[in-house]
Structure 1
Amino acid sequence: MTAIEYTAQPGTPVHDYIAENREKLRRVLGERGALLLRGFEVGGVDGFDGVVQAFSGSRPLSYAERSSPRSTIKGQVYTSTDYPADEEIFLHNENSYQAVWPHTLYFYCIEPAHTRGATPLADIREVYRAIDPAVREEFVRRGGWQVVRNFHADFGVPWQEAFGTGDPAAVEEYCRGKGITAEWRADGGLRTTTVRAAVHTHPGSGEEVWFNHATFWHVTSLAPEVQEGLREIFPDEDLPTNTYFGDGGRIPDETVAHLRAAYRSATTRFDWQRDDVLIVDNMLAAHGREPFTGPRKIAVAMAEPSRPPAA
């Protein structure tokens, strides 16, 4: 997937451009999956917040049920995932493990990397078509996919940060409302189990899309040295995250390798420039992050909550 680029005349205010062209831009986003607005006058983080309101017609969403470390820049504008610069972040659809997810994502380049650091994109319609039909059918037949998250004390994102509260009763109430099974461990940790659909229907086009975190969170998608280190510390059932078929059965490693290849085959990239704004249809495009050198600061915002039609 290549983001459709719109390049401005120097000094063109991005909010004016969106206001004048919103209907066309939204139509193109729903067809192509990603828009790159380049060369516009954005106005910093405050202006970026205004981009979300101009395009989506609403304020950005808060980052709930967190799965990765982020820092708040201002309001509901966050840093992209705060992982070390030498680590790749594999392709995924934002919050596809949740009962409600953002339909539209926004990225703003405050400071580009010196080298690499792209936000690669993959058309998940193409990913769906690249997956062996027998693999797709098995996920559907076995109830979708399942993620098990283990929140360990002093390791990874703590449950208090993930759920935005230190009250176990509030966590349990949240989980009941979102179809999540919560189990408190003897050591004070928390295990959650969530089952979601692997294949969704895009609400605009009606196309089938491969919308899930089954590949992203599978232990074999980690770098080999990270896999080895985690498995030295934890048995598989206690790994910080791992994925299964919806019925709880193990997903074969070769199946996950096939899924990773499907994402890779559909991936394109571009190099960030300062003040770039990238708008992504989260149900058409998966995104990731390349390793990088240099400062690289990308702001992220989310908007337009979406859920399965039956929910």
Structure 2
Amino acid sequence: MTAETPLLPLLVEPDGVPATEQLRADREKVRAALRERGAVLLRGFDVEGPDGFADIVRALSGEPLPYTERSSPRSVIKGNVYTSTDYPPGEEIFLHNENSYQASWPLTLFFHCVRPPLTGGATPLADTRRVLDSIDEEVRREFTRRGWMVVRNYGDLVGLPWQEAFNSTDPAEVERYCHEQGIEAQWLPGGGLRTRAVRDAVHRHPVTGEPVWFNHATVFHVSTLPESARLGLLEMLGEENLPSQTYYGDGGAVPADVMDHLRACYRAASTRFDYRADDVLVIDNMLVSHGREPFTGPRRIAVAMAEPYTAHR
């Protein structure tokens, strides 16, 4: 392993053996670095496609997980290896933690750069411990006291159909899943679905015990969208029918200045690097949030998730 660098992620380069062999030998060192630093970049390895990428996941974290209760469009590459979010290249995806709106989530994420973009396209990272420390005490206290609620609408016009989001065409199965996960499900006229879930905004990491700002409150709030998209969605749908919207846990609106403050805290804590072909970025999903820069060129990033964790209720 190379010497530590001052910014995320920690760089790990080949020692002259295949990636999986080196990672199995250095597994505990790499995992310790991941839990301390929050992100590790494997650079210079021959990944050998989706099968080799899945083997790297197994070497560090066990079997890759399926993508459930989806919030963004993705395509299966092979098995439980997926494309990164299939959004237009000119759009930013704001910093967030994978599946933090769920009752269960992966502790570890893997990103494989199959083909780097021509410009932009980084996966910016922000340490959620730093984000939490920078949030105004009153704002943090309000979210801790009230929690945060996400309201999601599933339909054919905007957002994901519920059949795709929940990997099922059976309403009863979706209702069972929602009940088990602490989600209120409401069927709408015309076959649409609206869900509400109240989650904690601050969690403790199950390995390190550190408090982290772990939620989708900012990325799910309509004000985080570009102005043209925000105004268009509100005019077309109204707030109650948005694909997703954030509230305090009791249903109260989050003030605009609070959302501005949260976005500023994420951006102040963020760092970036440019992808190279065959880079594998590994992040601790609770210690580090991630996003996506706009880009040009044929960027292709494969994604896998591992190590499921369920919040205590």
Length-normalised TM-score, structure 2: 0.96
Q: CA deviation at 1:8?
A: 2.1
Residue of structure 2 equivalent to 1:175: 178
SS of equivalent to 1:200: strand
Give the counterpart letter for 1:133 in structure 2. Answer: E
Cα distance in 1 for residues equivalent to 2:117 and 2:27:
30
Residue of structure 2 equivalent to 1:33: 38
Cα distance in 1 for residues equivalent to 2:283 and 2:110:
6
Residue of structure 2 equivalent to 1:193: 196
Give the counterpart letter for 1:265 in structure 2. Answer: A
Give the counterpart letter for 2:210 in structure 1. Answer: E
* C-alpha contact (below 8 Å) 1:153/1:188 kept by paired residues: no
SS of equivalent to 2:209: coil
Q: Does 1:6 pair with 2:21?
A: no
Give the counterpart letter for 2:31 in structure 1. Answer: R
Cα distance in 2 for residues equivalent to 1:307 and 1:177:
12
Structure 1 unaligned spans of 5+: none
SS of equivalent to 2:34: helix
Residue of structure 1 equivalent to 2:87: 83
SS of equivalent to 2:301: strand
Runs (4 or more) in structure 1 with deviation over 6 Å come to none
* C-alpha contact (below 8 Å) 2:153/2:159 kept by paired residues: no
Q: CA deviation at 1:218?
A: 0.3
Residue of structure 2 equivalent to 1:17: 22
Q: CA deviation at 1:59?
A: 1.2
Cα distance in 2 for residues equivalent to 1:153 and 1:83:
17
* C-alpha contact (below 8 Å) 2:18/2:46 kept by paired residues: yes
Instruction: Output aligned runs, 1:1-311, within 5 Å.
Output: 2-8=8-14, 12-56=17-61, 58-142=62-146, 144-308=147-311, 310-311=312-313
* C-alpha contact (below 8 Å) 1:159/1:190 kept by paired residues: yes
* C-alpha contact (below 8 Å) 1:12/1:41 kept by paired residues: no
- Residues 10-39 of structure 1, C-alpha deviation per residue, up to 9 Å, x if partnerless? x64110110110011000100000000100
Q: CA deviation at 1:212?
A: 0.1
Q: How many residues are treated as equivalent by the alignment?
A: 307
SS of equivalent to 1:183: strand
Give the counterpart letter for 2:91 in structure 1. Answer: E
Cα distance in 1 for residues equivalent to 2:64 and 2:281:
15
SS of equivalent to 1:286: strand
Q: CA deviation at 1:154?
A: 2.8
Structure 2 unaligned spans of 5+: 1-6
Identity of aligned residues (%): 59
SS of equivalent to 1:304: strand
* C-alpha contact (below 8 Å) 2:70/2:166 kept by paired residues: yes
- Residues 133-163 of structure 1, C-alpha deviation per residue, up to 9 Å, x if partnerless? 1000001111x10000011233221000000
Cα distance in 2 for residues equivalent to 1:198 and 1:32:
22
Q: CA deviation at 1:172?
A: 0.5
* C-alpha contact (below 8 Å) 1:111/1:274 kept by paired residues: yes
* C-alpha contact (below 8 Å) 1:34/1:281 kept by paired residues: yes
Give the counterpart letter for 1:276 in structure 2. Answer: D
- Residues 245-273 of structure 1, C-alpha deviation per residue, up to 9 Å, x if partnerless? 01110000110110000000000000000
Give the counterpart letter for 1:68 in structure 2. Answer: S
SS of equivalent to 1:50: helix
